[in-house]
Amino acid sequence: MPLLSIIVPVYKTEPFLDACVKSIQAQTLKDWEMILVDDGSPDRCPEMCDLYVANDNRIQVIHKENGGLSSARNSGIAIAQGKYIAFVDSDDTIEPDTYEGNIAFMETHPDVDVVQFPAKRIGWGDQFYHKPGFFRGKKELILNNYKDSPIDNTVCMKIFRRELFDTIRFREGHVHEDKTFVLQMLQHINVLYISDIGCYNYYRRENSIQTTDSFSKTSDWIDTEVATLQNIYLYKELKSEWIGRWMHNVRWLMNLQLKHSGWDVKPLLENLKTVIPSFNLHASAKDLYWYIFICIRGVERFHKHYLNLLKTKYL
């Protein structure tokens, strides 16, 4: 039984896969298994995966029909044997010291359910780093996921104890799976530790899920935001965060409507309206104005008025 299972979903990443696999093989921690999940990739990735397996007995591959990132991750979880589980996307890399030091920490701190380590977003931002420290209890975990955001909504910069996956899995058939998973995770763990050891390298790729718009992806995001806003509503400490986040989503949808004339975002605005709370909110004057406009005049009138202002550049 390996100490760590590293699950790598693989789909149309032929130019990047070798660098990804080599970065895992270069880890100073040697007691691991790598599970490559070929998610029906139409390029040379399946053949490459078979070659990795032939040359390293710590690597295995699952070949499956295309089902999306969540499906691939869940397939890997189903056969993972490690005491700990980590995820690496097949177009990213990870620094050599990342797993050894962080797992050593988890071995000496059995109360820690999840460790989050630094990450660098190459081509789309700076390093994601926060001061090391413990977060304990559901309330503290939730507050620090939303308010100051030291707890990130991505899974590849984390190591999880295997037991967590006895309870939850990734939501299949949707995008923004990381955010949904972390939302569930925070309901099931007691202690998360932010580490300063290692680094995960996220790369911005053109035409990737992150860099392209689609209505279904936008709809999934709003579904996830509704769940998030419902969660925030439970904590008075997040009252001041609520309206800003709610209006950010409204403005984002309206700008997408202007960008994509064939879209109809009114159903998504109606979805957001289902989580309007009853308590008084702290907000900027501009946010509060539009918030009240939507509450009183409704989504249809707001959509028409706001879109006209966007088109005439009055906003």
Other C-beta atoms lying within 10 Å of the C-beta of residue 60 = 17
Question: Which strand (E) or helix (H) includes residue 115?
Answer: strand 114-116
- In the block, tokens 């979805």 appear at 271
Alpha carbons 51 and 14: distance in angstroms, whole number: 13
What single-letter DSSP state applies at residue 14? Answer: H
Residue 292's pLDDT band (cuts 50, 70, 90): confident
The tens digit of pLDDT for each residue in 209-240 reads: 555 678 998 999 999 999 888 888 788 888 77
- Is pLDDT at 76 greater than 70 in this prediction? yes
pLDDT: which is higher, 24 or 179: 24
The tens digit of pLDDT for each residue in 251-277 reads: 999 999 999 989 999 999 999 999 876
- Is pLDDT at 183 greater than 80 in this prediction? yes
Beta sheet of 59-64, edge-to-edge order: 59-64, 32-39, 4-10, 84-87, 158-161, 114-116, 191-194, 133-136
pLDDT for residue 242 = 82
**C-alpha Rg value of the chain to the nearest Å:** 21
Query: Among 168-177, 237-246, 273-282, which stretch is predicted with the lowest mean pLDDT?
Result: 273-282
- Is pLDDT at 279 greater than 60 in this prediction? no
pTM, to two decimals: 0.90
**What is the CATH number assigned to the segment(s) 4-209?**
3.90.550.10
